[in-house]
Structure 1
């Protein structure tokens, strides 16, 4: 036989709301009790999360350290290249100065030889 009870929409909604409230109360009652296994799992999850955060921080710090090291190496390389360029310039300038000094010495020697020949010729003529 059919249920001939006439349920209005409002009655059905009230009944559904009461049922949901009862289910929620039962859920809260079950989960409000302290369960050692659940607490242990929660503590384990917290420890895992903390370890993960520590590893992430460590990786981030390692990346920062590596970046700083690479920048320092780049600065050292740049300084070495600059020092090498300066040394090369100084060597080139020194070579130029030496070449000029040799040219001047050679010219002075030629002049001295010429003056000596001139003095010898004058001495023979006299």
Structure 2
């Protein structure tokens, strides 16, 4: 075996061992679940998340209220159109009754004038 290759192999083994030790130290130095700083950080994240959920719920409620208002406005406009159409129909029916009654009134007035003229001639 070539001594140059052997020293490279030993160097690689030493580097790998150092990396394993460093990983183990990083793992051991991690905060425990009971660490007050970690608990505080988790509480802050939970508060931020809850506030975001509340804001989203408020936005959704506002969108739903706006949609309900739009539906109510459309229904009111439709009701107004129906009322206007009913008023126009009633007005048209009254005009038709007046138009139908007009010839009869004119005939009655003509007959009255004729009768008055005949009465004066006698």
TM-score by length of 2: 0.76
* Match runs of 1:47-86 below 5 Å: 47-86=47-86
Give the Cα separation in 2 of the matches to 1:88 and 1:15: 99
C-alpha distance 17-106 of structure 1, shift in aligned 2 (>3 A) = farther
1:14-56 per-residue CA deviation (whole Å, 9 max, x = no partner) reads 5444444333322221224232122101111111111111111
Q: Note the C-alpha offset of 1:67.
A: 0.6
Structure 1 gaps, min length 5: none
Alignment coverage as a number of residue pairs: 117
Report the aligned-residue RMSD. 2.7
Q: Please state if 1:30 is matched with 2:29.
A: yes
Q: Note the C-alpha offset of 1:101.
A: 1.4
Task: Give SS of 1:84's match.
Answer: helix
* Match runs of 1:1-126 below 5 Å: 6-8=7-9, 12=12, 14-33=13-32, 34-114=34-114, 116=115, 119-120=118-119, 124=122
Give the Cα separation in 2 of the matches to 1:15 and 1:100: 116
Give the Cα separation in 1 of the matches to 2:110 and 2:46: 95
TM-score by length of 1: 0.74
Give the Cα separation in 1 of the matches to 2:106 and 2:15: 118
The structure, 1 or 2, with the larger RCO (C-alpha pairs under 8 Å, 6+ apart) is 2
